[in-house]
Amino acid sequence: MSGPVVSIDTFGRLLRRTEQALERGELFFPEVTEWDSGRVAVGNALRYFATFERWPDSQQDAVDATGPVVLDVGAGAGRHALHLQASGRIVVPLDIDPVAVEVMRDRGLDAHLGDIVHHVAVAPYDTLIFLGGNGSLLVNAPDALMACARLLRPGGRVIAEVGHQSMAHGGAKVRVRFEEYASPWIEYAAARLDTFRTMVETRSEFRITGWRPYRSTTLVTITRTEAVAHP
């Protein structure tokens, strides 16, 4: 029996169909998450289109704490970016999934396709946000932390939401399944949160300035301390 088609736009396809379900007035659209432990979890993908009042406290606090110019890394359908844009911030939503980028553009955002390591900023950002499970993109990739140093102004901040180990269903890697598709596996970051803390503390470019646990996630804030050369 053949396995799923591994595709970078699996999540975007799910978002597109979820948006259609939302337009039909449906209240639930399944998001199927698979763990390498064999466990499968089902959530409501409509949350990726939710407005501020329905976000978890961690995400409300993160977005409230952003500066005037924000990079939203792994922006999905753009729920946080839309709120930031409506509040008068300049926001660049970035995503590696071309269908997610299309969904965001259709919703009125100037979304960029790509990942943080290759992202080129017009001017330094005040804040980089990694929300909705995207702390994994930061905690698991030393290159991503270096990219943050390059993209932030001195005094600028990274705000990342990292899931707790209790949410890992006994697995170390996770991926999204939709129809015949699967996203690439992503390492779940919870187990590395303390390693990440040590890694940041040994770097002169950053200082940890916030470490706030919520029900199922921790919001980590790191501040860029000193000037680094921009190429």
Ligand X SMILES: C[S@@+](CC[C@H](N)C(=O)[O-])C[C@H]1O[C@@H](n2cnc3c(N)ncnc32)[C@H](O)[C@@H]1O
Task: For residue 18, state whether it binds ligand X (rule: CB under 6 A).
Answer: no
SS3 content of the chain, % helix, strand, coil (to 5): 35, 30, 35
CA 196 – CA 16 distance, rounded (Å): 34
Task: For residue 19, state whether it binds ligand X (rule: CB under 6 A).
Answer: no
Task: For residue 79, state whether it binds ligand X (rule: CB under 6 A).
Answer: yes
Cβ neighbours, 10 Å, residue 172: 13
Q: Which stretch binds ligand X (CB under 6 A): 33-41, 129-137, 165-173, 194-202?
A: 129-137
Q: Which stretch binds ligand X (CB under 6 A): 36-44, 69-77, 193-201, 204-212?
A: 69-77
Stretch (H or E) spanning 32: strand 30-35
Kindly tell me which residue out of 69, 111, 137, 222 binds ligand X, with binding defined by CB under 6 A: 137
Smallest distance from ligand X to CB 97, Å: 3
Kindly tell me which residue out of 62, 91, 132, 174 binds ligand X, with binding defined by CB under 6 A: 132
Report the 3 state secondary structure along 87-131: CCCEEEEEECCHHHHHHHHHCCCCCEECCCCCCCCCCCEEEEEEC
Kindly tell me which residue out of 11, 35, 178, 181 binds ligand X, with binding defined by CB under 6 A: 11
Which residues here bind ligand X, judged by CB under 6 A? Answer: 11, 48, 73-76, 79, 94-97, 100, 115, 131-134, 137
